Structure formats: C-alpha cells, structure tokens
Amino acid sequence: MDLSTWLAFCAAALVMLAIPGPTILLVIGQSLGGGRNSALPLVAGVALGDLTAMTLSLAGLGAILAASATLFTALKWVGAAYLIWLGAKMWRAPVAATAAPPLPAGRALREAWLVTALNPKGIVFFVAFVPQFIDPARNFVTQAALLVATFVTLAAANVAIYAALAGRLSGAVRRPSVRRVLNRVGGGVLMGAGLAVALRRG
C-alpha cells in the first residue's frame, strides 16, 4: 500500500473516530463515575469490537474481490452513495445525549464489545469505507491486515484519550451546541468523501 493511501486512511479514520458516539459517551460516563482506570475495560472492548467488525467486513470484501473485479467496483459505487447518505443523516442527527453510569469491569468490556462489533450499521460502514483504500491490483490480505491493525490501534487510542480527558471534556462534549457542530463537521466530511469517490475516475 502506498504511504499516501495509508495516511489518507489514517486521517479519515481519525476524523470519524473523534466524533462522539454511543461508545464515547459510555467511556465518558465510566470515567467520570469510577475514574480513569474504570474505563480501561472499555478501551479493550472497543479494540476487540473493531477487530471483530473489520475482520468480518474485510472477509466479505475479499470474497467479492476474488469473485469479480466488476462487483468490487460496483461495491465502491454503492459505498460512495452510502457515505453520502450517512453524512446527511449525521448532519441532521439530534444532539441530545446522556452519559451512562459506571459499570463493573466485565460488563463494561462486554457492552463496549457488543456496541462496537455487533452493530450492523458499523459492519455496513466498514464495507462502504474500507474499499476506498484498497487497490484491487495488490495483495488484498496484506492491505486488509494493515488497515485492520491501523484502525484498531487508532480506535483504542481515541477511546483512551477520551477516558483520560473525560473530566475536562465530558461537559463540553455533551453540550448540545458542541454536539451539533461535531455532527455537522463529521457529516460534511463523510458526504465529501462519498462525492470524491463518486467523481473519481477508475
């Protein structure tokens, strides 16, 4: 994989990971109620959840690519449309949010894994997002392994940072005006990514 492609994937992944969602709100609530150490199981749960979701998604992508390059290209077009739709939905998303109460370590890890891995929307998102950075002419398994390792590492680091800074950031993140800005910035990024894929030649 070209360095420029990998860096573009990192940048896009960081933007999406930084937008607070259910997992981040769970981390903030856990950190506020029980301290930073109580959020550690959530970090592990998110990492395992992303590993599960991306592995399942990329296994399906690999099967499609092996079957037909045309199907893979068609999937990229469908993915572009999905990104635009998801961005528009995020732009209009409601801004109300509440933090979850502290959880026991085992339950925290399990809930973080379930929220991250077993959300069908997350798997569909990976199927739409990842092909934009896959070169069908190169080894799929190598590229997939690199993207999975990169995303899981970034996701775990993102959750850990939110946990460490929860005491300072939680109030602002849950503030409706801030949530609205984050939703619109994130939605704009996703719609732009979808349009770039749709307009790109090849």
The CA distances from residue 185 to 17, 92, 148, 171, in Å, are 13, 11, 25, 19
Quick one: average pLDDT of 164-171? 64
Per-residue pLDDT tens over the stretch 114-128: 767 765 556 666 777
pLDDT, tens digit (0-9, with 9 covering 90-100), for 43-65: 888 889 888 888 877 777 667 76
Q: Does the pLDDT of residue 75 top 70, yes or no?
A: no
Q: Judge whether residue 66 has pLDDT over 70.
A: no
Residues 149 and 9: beta-carbon distance below 8 Å: no
94-108, 120-134, 148-162 — which is least confidently predicted?
94-108
Mean pLDDT for the stretch of residues 187-192: 75
Q: What is the band of 150 on the pLDDT scale with cuts at 50, 70, 90? A: very high
**Would you place residue 187 in the very low, low, confident or very high pLDDT band (cuts 50, 70, 90)?**
confident
Checking if the pLDDT of 111 tops 80, the result is: no
Q: Calculate mean pLDDT across residues 176-197.
A: 73
Mean pLDDT for the stretch of residues 25-42: 66
Contact 75, 61 (CB under 8 A): yes
Say what the pLDDT of residue 153 is: 92
SS (H, E, C) 20-75: CCHHHHHHHHHHHHHCHHHHHHHHHHHHHHHHHHHHHHHHHHHHHHHHCHHHHHHH
Residue 31 clears pLDDT 80, i.e. is over it: no
